[in-house]
Amino acid sequence: MRAHPSPNFGERRDGAAVDLIVLHYTVLDCAGSLERLCDPAAEVSAHYLIDRDGTLHALVDEAARAWHAGAGAWGGAGDVNSRSIGIELVNSGAEPFAEPQMKALEALLRDILDRHGLGSQSVIGHSDMAPDRKADPGPRFDWRRLALQGLAVWPDVPAAPFATRGDGGAEAHMAAFLADLRAFGYPDAAPETLLTAFRLRFRPAGKGPLDATDCALAAGLRRFAVDVKPADA
């Protein structure tokens, strides 16, 4: 781990404890990312940056509030910066994530989850908590790989996704899909926006209107349901 302190941080508000880890991609290369994440004028940072070769840069102490998440919410609560650790991965958003980088991420996630007493459902993407404006870590990120190691979640698919819901048509299926996403933690957003964000993570090859596969996957997330808090700023 290389220390590369960023001046862009503050105190976690209201004594908030860490309950999320948010994954991002940088678009920029490592040098450009370090410059931006440590530029006071940019007003952006993260706790960690992982280069393609697996080099881990520590930018902000975990006890501090880094500025990586921005506007958004998860589990009904906002100010994600105050309750999360942000990890930036050097990636353009259109390329596979390098093997050394993924191994470094996996080791870091194990360490953070263990030290903070968090479960695998605590690891989310930027696009999950800000679906109306963010797409990272993007469709090339291997969430299932993390889930197989207990470092993220992957849905179990019910054998009959609509069996207990009746067949109320497309409107009823969309309502059930959105309820499942809300129970998992997704914030309020337009249905198509949430469908896009959901597919980015769980079904990147999915196209077109909501279908039975989307609904089955979303229903499979119910076992990771969060205690949804009242929405806040």
Supply the residues annotated as catalytic: 88
Q: Which residues, 6 or more positions from 128, have their beta carbon under 8 angstroms from its beta carbon?
A: 74, 185, 186, 197, 201
Q: What is the DSSP string of 27-65?
A: SS-HHHHHHHHT-TTT----SEEE-TT--EEE-S-TTEE
What's 74's DSSP letter?
Answer: B
CB atoms within 10 A of CB 144: 12
Distance CA 128, CA 150 (A): 19
Answer whether 125's CB lies under 8 Å from 141's CB.
yes
Beta bridge partners of 57: 2, 49
